[in-house]
Structure 1
Amino acid sequence: MKHSTTPQTRRGRGPARRIGRSLALVLPVVLVLSGTLAVARVNWSGTPSSPVLTAAETTASGASSRTAARAPHEVLRDALLVELQQKDPGVALTHLQQAVNDRPSLAKHCASIARALGKAAVRVYGPTKAQSFSRPVCDTSFATGVVTAAR
């Protein structure tokens, strides 16, 4: 039996090598995407997402105080209306956009808050000056409020 002195090499790449390379390319992408989705679904605000409160939470929250009974969007609207009178509607609209970005749960109330700001701006500045503060916050609801109040 005669042995060859030249080293033997595989002529083709086997299926294991192809599968390994495919996994090496796909696996990091899958891990990054699943991690991103997991982080996006976490409630980072610290408030419970469930509307049901236990008895201990109800008594500990001090529900008798007036500020605890008001909804967050009502508190935000009132604060922005005060800010509109003290500074200008542009600052109030900027803070509205920041509040919606920080707390996405306020997004469903953004249009009504912006309309209320538009109506208040007409009362304080008049329709022409109020319209000059208009920005594309909450689908231009501020401008809608200005037009509604100017009629």
Structure 2
Amino acid sequence: MKHSTTPQTRRGHRGGPARRIGRTLALVLPVVLVLSGTLAVTRVNWTGSPSGSVLAASDVSAAEAPAEPAAQAPQDVLRDQLMTELQHKNPGVVLTHLQQAVNGHPSLARHCGSLARALGKAAVRIYGASRAQSYARPVCDTAFASGVLAAHT
């Protein structure tokens, strides 16, 4: 009986180029998606004025800032509530409350991804990457998991 000296996997197949490409994509694709989303958000005109120029937050001088703080947007209020809740409860409970808030107020759906990513980043600071990742689930298209990944890398 002749024995082969080539390394084989459990199924008897060697790891070919397709497997290596698949592994590379599995590692690189989430990072690319997070970065492309971050870059897209930086190009949004958040000022509300119809001007064509996009300013970075650091470009606005203190003199141009409003004297009185304006009322917070609903998504900012929800973010603050969820971040406070994350200090006292596990991320699973907080993600459930995020999903309930989005279900109750459909106008928050477009902010769900950014809220879940922010929760993921905060969960890494509080619980560490592995424990935070254990709470990930498909709330807002797995944005929580991408927040954990962004904070861990």
Q: Which TM-score bucket, shorter chain as reference?
A: 0.5 to 0.7
Q: Partner residue of 1:115?
A: 117
Shift of 1:140: 0.2
Instruction: Answer yes or no: is 1:128 the counterpart of 2:130.
Output: yes
Amino acid of the residue matched to residue 123 of structure 2?
Answer: A
Q: Partner residue of 2:72?
A: 70
Shift of 1:123: 0.1
Unaligned runs of 5+ in 1: 1-63
Amino acid of the residue matched to residue 82 of structure 1?
Answer: T
The 5-angstrom pairing of residues 2-151 of structure 1 reads: 66=69, 69-151=71-153
Greater CA drift, 123-132 or 82-91: 82-91
* Counterparts in 2 of 1:105 and 1:148: CA distance versus 1, 3 Å: same
SS of equivalent to 1:138 = coil
Q: Partner residue of 1:53?
A: none
Q: Distance in 1 between matches of 2:71 and 2:100?
A: 23
Shift of 1:88: 0.9
Shift of 1:65: 7.8
Larger relative contact order, structure 1 or 2 (CA cutoff 8 Å, min sep 6): 2
Q: Distance in 2 between matches of 1:101 and 1:139?
A: 14
* Counterparts in 2 of 1:102 and 1:65: CA distance versus 1, 3 Å: farther
Amino acid of the residue matched to residue 77 of structure 1?
Answer: R
Q: Distance in 1 between matches of 2:128 and 2:94?
A: 17
More helix by share: 1
Amino acid of the residue matched to residue 73 of structure 2?
Answer: A
Q: How many residues are aligned here?
A: 87
Q: Distance in 2 between matches of 1:90 and 1:78?
A: 17
What RMSD, in angstroms, separates the aligned Cα atoms of the two structures?
Answer: 1.5
Q: Distance in 2 between matches of 1:87 and 1:79?
A: 12
Structure 1-normalised TM-score? 0.55
